[in-house]
Amino acid sequence: MFFDEGNEWNEFFENIQKKEYFQKLMKFVNEEYQTKIIYPLKENLFNAFKLTPLQDVKVVILGQDPYPNPNQAMGLAFSVPEGIKLPPSLKNIYKEIISEFNLSIDLPQSGDLTYLAQQGVLLLNPYLTVVAGKPLSHKIKEYDYLFKDIMLKLNSLDKPIVFMLWGNNAKKHHKYLTNEKHMVIETAHPSPLSANQGGWFGSNCFLKADEFLKENNLNEIKWIKD
């Protein structure tokens, strides 16, 4: 069993661990952890699936790969642990949430997005690991196969789910999303390089997600922690 009893990701991972690509992937990842500095910490490798059980998924936000700098990556896309300086993309995520909901608050100091994961927001990086200081260093076909299987599993779920595809890398995965019960929201990426060129600020992606959830009699997401 990979996760706590009752987490339906267990059945998914128990099935794919029999696949040749997954066995190769785990061999590769284990060797990398033994010989290099890899982020996130090994115990946080599957954090997104642990904190957001399959049956609880309401929103999927796609990242890319973990932060390659010390003390940042924690197994949740865009999230950093308590006490760590906010990365630029996360600052822009917070700014957009505050703007959309017209909140009279300062930018949150904490970048720990565990509170979102616990509400059913799957914060998913297609590549779950990275070599320290080397973005996309684990961009390998075995991770692509795993990510495809994950997306197809999510797509097959017979319930409403919002998929947020931020930036061109995320938008490439729209092809896996064919279920008419789901909603797909595409925007620019929140990184300053992309967001400042338009398509992120004012996108209302969080409002749209909440409206969709409400229309489907699901609890809206509390996007900013009290």
Task: Evaluate if residue 26 carries a pLDDT over 80.
Answer: yes
Q: What are the percentages of helix, strand and coil residues in the chain, rounded to 5?
A: 40, 10, 50
Phi/psi at 59 (nearest 5 deg)?
A: -135, 140
73 neighbors 64 (Cβ within 8 angstroms): no
pLDDT at res. 104? 93
User: Measured between alpha carbons, how far is residue 1 from residues 42, 58, 139, 140 in Å?
Assistant: 17, 23, 27, 26
The 10s digit of each residue's pLDDT in 142-189 is 999 999 999 999 999 999 999 999 998 899 999 999 999 999 999 999
Indicate which residue of 65, 106, 149, 210 is catalytic. 65
pLDDT band at 226 (very low <50, low <70, confident <90, very high): confident
| Interval 110-119 mean pLDDT | 98
Calculate what percentage of the chain has a pLDDT beyond 90.
94
65 catalytic, yes or no? yes
